[in-house]
Amino acid sequence: MQLNELLRYYRKNVLNISQQEMAKRLNISQSSISKYERDGTGIESSMLVRMMNAYQIPKPLFMQALFENSIDYETLSVREHKKSIFEEDFLFFEKLFNDYPNLKKELYHLAYMNKKDRDKHAKAITAMIKAHLSVT
């Protein structure tokens, strides 16, 4: 498996996100993601580490694909990698909710709102988080 195939595989099968979402994570255009996943050429060296992290590809596997060594699909162990990503995310959110109990309450309330109110409330929470992140 070459780098472009590995990128596409991880985005679709491990992270289950769109090219648009990956483009947001990397702060690049969706067409750039499409190009990288299609042919894997023209990726600047400064982008490689960012891509490895955003796609959450283990470094040895990423390096193997980068240097065009053959990668067998069975070696990917996708189920185990998905599990480790989920566990890392869970620990992050567990800490976040412990640090900010009001955030946990607000998110919990979303489950009991009608769709219109839930969408409005979720947008407001997202805007507050973005504003907080831009200040810190």
pLDDT (tens digit, 9 = 90+) per residue, 64-112? 888 776 555 555 556 666 677 777 777 888 888 888 888 888 887 887 8
C-alpha 123/C-alpha 121 separation (Å) is 5
On whether both 94 and 45 belong to a single domain, the answer is: no
Q: Running DSSP on this structure, what letter comes out for residue 67? A: T
Domain that residue 28 falls in? 3-77
On whether both 64 and 100 belong to a single domain, the answer is: no
On whether both 31 and 89 belong to a single domain, the answer is: no
On whether both 45 and 69 belong to a single domain, the answer is: yes
The number of distinct structural domains making up the chain is 2
User: What mean pLDDT is predicted for residues 18-24?
Assistant: 95
- pTM as predicted: 0.55
Q: Would you give the end-to-end CA distance of the chain in angstroms?
A: 40
Q: Check pLDDT > 70 for residue 62.
A: yes
On whether both 16 and 28 belong to a single domain, the answer is: yes
Angle at 82 between CA 78 and CA 84, to 5 degrees: 120
Averaged pLDDT of the chain = 83
On whether both 110 and 68 belong to a single domain, the answer is: no
- Digit-coded pLDDT (tens) for 32-56: 999 999 987 778 888 888 999 999 9
